[in-house]
A and B are shown apart, each in its own frame.
Chain A
Amino acid sequence: MKFGVVVFPGTWSDRDCGWVVDQVLGHELTYLWHKDTDLGGCDCVILPGGFAYGDYLRTGAIARFAPIMEKVGEFADRGGLVWGICNGFQVLCEAGLLPGALIRNASLEFRCEWTNLLVERTDLPFTAKCGERDVLRVPIAHGEGSYFADPATLSRIEQRGQVVFRYCDADGRVVPSANPNGSLHNIAGVINTRGNVLGMMPHPERCSEAELGGTDGLKLFRSVAENAFKVLVS
Chain B
Amino acid sequence: MSIKSVDERRLREVALTPDEYRVIVEQLKRAPNEVELGMLGVLWSEHCSYKSSKALLRRLPSTGPGVVQGPGENAGAVEIGQGWSVVFKIESHNHPSAIEPYQGAATGVGGIIRDVIAMGARPVALLDSLRFGPLPESRHHFEGVVAGVGGYGNCIGIPTVGGEVFFEDCYASNPLVNAMCVGLVRTDHLMRARAEGAGNSLMLVGADTGRDGIHGASFASVELDEKRSERRPAVQVGNPFLEKCLLEACMDLSHTDAVVAIQDLGAAGLTSAVAECAGRVDGAGARIDVSRVPRREREMTAYDVMLSESQERMLVVVRRGREREVETIFQAWDLTSAVIGEVTDDGQLTVFDGDDQVARVPVRLLTDGVPMRRLVGLPPEPPYGLEVDALPPLADVGATLLRLLASPNLASRRGVFRRYDHMVGDSTVVAPGGDAAVLRVKGTRLGIAVTTDGNGRYCHLDPHLGAQLAVAEAARNIVATGARPLAVTDCLNFANPDRPEVYWELEEAISGLAYACRMLEVPVVSGNVSLYNDSGGESGIYPTPVVGMVGVMDDYGKRLGAGLRAEGDFVLMIGSSHNDLGGSEYLKVEHGHVAGRPPGLDLTRERAVHRLILSAAQSGYLHSAHDCAEGGMLVALAEACLLGGLGVRCPAMRPEPPLRLDAAFFGESSSRFIVSVPSRAMPEMQSLARRHNVELSLLGLAGGDIIEFEGQMKVSLSDLRTAWESLIT
Q: List chain A positions with a Cβ less than 8 A from chain B.
A: 9-13, 15-16, 19-20, 23, 49-51, 53-56, 109-113, 139, 141, 143, 203, 205-206, 209, 211-213
Contact = CB atoms under 8 A, between A and B. Distances in A.
B154 A141 contact: yes
Contact of B157 (A50, A111, A139, A211): A50
A88 to B, nearest CB: 14
A55 B419 contact: no
B244 interface: yes
Contacts of A20: 426
Contacts of A23: 442
A121 to B, nearest CB: 26
Nearest to A143: B154
Interface in B224-243: 239-242
A104 B421 CA distance: 16
B117 to A, nearest CB: 15
Contacts of A16: 424-426
A53 B421 contact: no
A212 B431 CA distance: 9
A16 B242 CA distance: 21
Contact of B423 (A50, A53, A110, A206): A206
A110 B334 contact: no
Nearest to B556: A211
B266 interface: no
B151 to A, nearest CB: 8
A54 B240 contact: yes
Contact of A112 (B239, B245, B420, B556): B420
11 contacts: A9-B333, A9-B334, A12-B157, A13-B157, A51-B157, A54-B239, A55-B241, A110-B419, A112-B423, A141-B421, A141-B423
- Give the most central of B156, B245, B421, B556: most A CB within 10 Å: B421
B422 interface: yes
A56 B241 contact: yes
- Give the most central of A20, A143, A209: most B CB within 10 Å: A143
B727 interface: no
A55 B157 CA distance: 13
**Ranked 3 nearest A-B pairs via Cβ:** A12-B157, A54-B241, A16-B426
B428 A212 contact: yes
Contacts of A50: 157
Nearest to A9: B245
A104 B147 CA distance: 14
Given A110-B150, A141-B154, A211-B440, A203 B241 contact: no
B418 A112 contact: yes
Contact of B418 (A13, A55, A113, A211): A113
Nearest to A35: B332
Nearest to A51: B155
Contacts of B334: 9
B682 interface: no
A19 B427 CA distance: 11
A205 B150 CA distance: 21
Contacts of A10: 155, 241, 244-245
A141 B417 CA distance: 11
A51 B241 contact: yes
A104 to B, nearest CB: 13
A12 B424 contact: yes
Contacts of A110: 150-151, 154, 419-421
A20 B442 CA distance: 12
A55 B155 contact: yes
A212 B429 contact: yes
Contact of A9 (B239, B244, B422, B424): B244
A51 B152 CA distance: 11
Given A9-B333, A50-B157, A143-B154, A212 B423 contact: yes
Interface in B111-152: 147, 150-151
